Chains A and B, each alone.
Chain A
Amino acid sequence: MKTGHAVAVYLVKILVKLLLVLLAVSIICFVLISVSPVDPIRMYVGEVGMRNIQPETLAKLESYFGLDTPLTIRYFNWLSDFVRGDMGTSLIYRQPVIDVIGVRFVNSFALMLTAWLFSGILGFFLGVIAGIRRGRLTDKLVKGYSLLLASTPTFWLALVMLMVFAVWLKWFPIGLSVPIGVDASKVTIFDTLHHLFLPALTLSVIGVANIALHTREKMIDVMAEDYVLYAKARGKSTFSILRHHGIRNVILPAITLQFASIGEIFGGSVLVEQVFSYPGLGQAAVNAGLSGDSPLLLGIAVISAALVFSGNFIANALYGIIDPRIRRGLKND
């Protein structure tokens, strides 16, 4: 079998898995939301309204929201609309869910991408350095920093950042993604970055710890491998060993970790967005959950599952492409 063909088959297999996972996630979320106290009618008419509501009005509303149809029929209705790109209308924003997610996603994406790249690259280098300088001062500093931050709650760090840099030093705004009271057309890219900085920094600083610790462990393992001993025994310098063997063998697990960490970054962003009142996907998810906005909640759940799974998918796919044992192994199957 040709290598290209084998890799294509491999990729298609993972893609099918992605679709199955998304289907399963949507079913579970749909059922969970249906049995949970999240009630679109209560949300729609409010607590006081619910107490005074006429039974016929209630029945009308139930049929309007489709609550009188069985769960399975409702799910298939939702699914067929979803496939056509219609995720329903958000009850709190009074806009199509897809538009709400679209706007929010762009905001969150900027935040998460910055944090993801920064924590990935910095974490990798810190980890590699700590790993080869094991037991020395550099290692102790990196390890100390990482352990401290890994045990710091995200929301707490976000609050500290907010207090120090926004309230006391007044270097950065205290929240939101654009200045208050400025016309949307007058918002500059500088304003956007200015508002993005603190949330992105908080998210990155937390992410670095995890990546650095994992990379350090892996680097220590690699430096103790037989092939590193052999390279040393053949008179190679530490730098040459690192360049030709070390980085190469650490980068594969690092890539997997980096793409798998998308889930963690996403989870962290929910908290950070909440503290900084940053209008992203995470904040929208919290709002949707608290206000019983089931279409939006469902939409966000499926989209974020897709995002996290795509991360894992890319990691797997890259493994198959980069690692010669898998690549050539596929060919020989």
Chain B
Amino acid sequence: MSQKELLKVENLSVSFTGYERGFRQIDLQVIENLNVTVKKGEMVAVVGASGSGKSLLAHTLLGILPPNSTACGNIYFEGELLNAQKINQLRGKEIAFVPQSVTYLDPLKKVGSQVRKDKKVIESYRKQQELFSFYDLPAKTDNLYPFELSGGMARRVFLSAAMMETPKLIVADEPTPGLHLEAAKNSLKHFREFADKGGGVLLITHDIELALEVSDRIAVFYAGTTVEEAFASDFQSENLLRHPYTKALWRALPQNGFAPTPGVQPYVKDKPQGCVYAPRCSVYSSKCNSKIPMQTIRNGSVLCACAK
């Protein structure tokens, strides 16, 4: 493993225990063989449709999966294999989480004390004031309640909260929805700056266009699996992309023809045996029905039997 690798998620699986028709206990494997790597100084965007397991990845990294779930696989942080205790020690300190909406702030507490994590020491106050002014938040924000924040302000409050403890990795879960383009770009610009200073950013989003503007690499999720890890520059042309799903996403972008692909992402229980994308794939063949190995093509990885 390279020294520069900050985070490496290897063959992650997450399953939920549920009850079918009230009585029969079943295991739902929501994430299967998920792989993603973030290097120091790099910003990696995780893209995929709703239900592809993007947010679950973030929740796994921070140890906040619901109690009825189990995660398997290996997660390395700076080369060290993590377990639940290590995640507990790292979260909030070396790994910071930037959530998606203002509901992640306690509605009954003032923003300032939440950013300071209720610490009443002078350093916390000073650091918080510095960060607020750095992110252009008015000084009075400290005394506001979450319901008094605008969407853009909330985003910057979360950024300040993430920076309170000088993290090495930021995991941002959909940090842009509900923001107008300018504010969204502005918000992503801060993540880019963080990466440029040597930190790592894992940006979870469904907005490919925005992700392409700021990220170095893109990991494409489909039905709980990584189907491709590509460079942002690969998205300049369809031929540089590897997986048929990524190509379909590319063709769906407005500037590339706005072409929809028929079908929907399969529900967890109806996932096909071999390639998860097989039912919708335009180049489907019989070899897609067996287990598909991950292969490396043009320095990017792809989960497809016929990728070139």
In whole Å, how far is A91's beta carbon from the nearest beta carbon of chain B?
Answer: 53
4 further A-B contacts with Cβ under 8 Å, apart from A229-B104, A249-B106, are A227-B105, A233-B62, A235-B88, A235-B93
Q: Is the CB of A234 within 8 A of B108?
A: no
Q: Is the CB of A233 within 8 A of B106?
A: no
In whole Å, how far is B142's beta carbon from the nearest beta carbon of chain A?
Answer: 14
Interface residues on B, range: 20 to 34
Any A CB within 8 A of the CB of B48? no
- Alpha-carbon gap, A234 to B89, bound state (A): 10
Q: Mark A217-237, 1 if CB is under 8 A from B, else 0.
A: 000000001110111111110
* Contact A227/B103 with A233-B92, A323-B108 known, Cβ cut-off 8 Å: yes
Residue in contact with B64 in the complex, picked from A233, A244, A328, CB distance below 8 Å: A233
Using CB atoms and an 8 Å cutoff, list the residues of chain A in contact with chain B.
225-227, 229-236, 240, 244-245, 248-249, 252, 323-325, 328
| Residue numbers in B under 8 Å from A249 (CB-CB) | 106-108
| Contacts of B66-104 to chain A: CB distance below 8 A | 88-89, 91-93, 96-97, 99, 101, 103-104
In whole Å, how far is A20's beta carbon from the nearest beta carbon of chain B?
Answer: 31
- Alpha-carbon gap, A233 to B167, bound state (A): 13
Q: Is the CB of A324 within 8 A of B108?
A: yes
Can you name the residue of chain A whose Cβ is closest to the Cβ of B93? A235
Can you name the residue of chain A whose Cβ is closest to the Cβ of B171? A233
- What are 6 of the A-B contact pairs (CB < 8 Å)? A227-B105, A229-B64, A231-B106, A233-B63, A233-B99, A236-B92
Q: Is the CB of A234 within 8 A of B145?
A: no
In whole Å, how far is A12's beta carbon from the nearest beta carbon of chain B?
Answer: 25
- Alpha-carbon gap, A248 to B106, bound state (A): 9
Any A CB within 8 A of the CB of B148? yes
| Residue numbers in B under 8 Å from A233 (CB-CB) | 62-64, 91-92, 97, 99
| Residue numbers in A under 8 Å from B126 (CB-CB) | none
Any A CB within 8 A of the CB of B136? no
Closest A-B pairs by Cβ, 9 of them: A235-B92, A234-B92, A230-B104, A233-B62, A233-B97, A227-B106, A226-B103, A226-B104, A324-B145
| Residue numbers in B under 8 Å from A324 (CB-CB) | 107-108, 145, 147
| Residue numbers in A under 8 Å from B123 (CB-CB) | none
- Alpha-carbon gap, A248 to B89, bound state (A): 26
Any A CB within 8 A of the CB of B270? no
In whole Å, how far is A147's beta carbon from the nearest beta carbon of chain B?
Answer: 20
| Contacts of B192-221 to chain A: CB distance below 8 A | none
| Residue numbers in B under 8 Å from A245 (CB-CB) | 106, 109
- Alpha-carbon gap, A42 to B142, bound state (A): 72
Any A CB within 8 A of the CB of B118? yes
Any A CB within 8 A of the CB of B291? no
- Alpha-carbon gap, A227 to B106, bound state (A): 5
Can you name the residue of chain A whose Cβ is closest to the Cβ of B162? A234
In whole Å, how far is B143's beta carbon from the nearest beta carbon of chain A?
Answer: 10
A233, A245, A248, A324 interface centre (most CB from chain B within 10 Å)? A233
| Residue numbers in B under 8 Å from A231 (CB-CB) | 106
Q: Is the CB of A325 within 8 A of B147?
A: yes
- Alpha-carbon gap, A236 to B91, bound state (A): 9
- Alpha-carbon gap, A232 to B65, bound state (A): 11
Q: Is the CB of A234 within 8 A of B106?
A: no
Any A CB within 8 A of the CB of B117? yes
Any A CB within 8 A of the CB of B288? no
Q: Mark B106-146, 1 if CB is under 8 A from A, else 0.
A: 11110000000110000000000000000000000000010
* Contact A234/B109 with A226-B99, A226-B101, A226-B103 known, Cβ cut-off 8 Å: no
In whole Å, how far is A225's beta carbon from the nearest beta carbon of chain B?
Answer: 7
Can you name the residue of chain B whose Cβ is closest to the Cβ of A225? B103
Any A CB within 8 A of the CB of B161? yes
In whole Å, how far is B83's beta carbon from the nearest beta carbon of chain A?
Answer: 16
In whole Å, how far is A274's beta carbon from the nearest beta carbon of chain B?
Answer: 42
- Alpha-carbon gap, A230 to B91, bound state (A): 10
- Alpha-carbon gap, A225 to B89, bound state (A): 22
Can you name the residue of chain B whose Cβ is closest to the Cβ of A222? B106
In whole Å, how far is B181's beta carbon from the nearest beta carbon of chain A?
Answer: 25
Q: Is the CB of B108 within 8 A of A248?
A: yes
In whole Å, how far is B240's beta carbon from the nearest beta carbon of chain A?
Answer: 36
| Residue numbers in B under 8 Å from A325 (CB-CB) | 107, 145, 147
Q: Is the CB of B117 within 8 A of A236?
A: yes
| Residue numbers in A under 8 Å from B108 (CB-CB) | 248-249, 252, 323-324
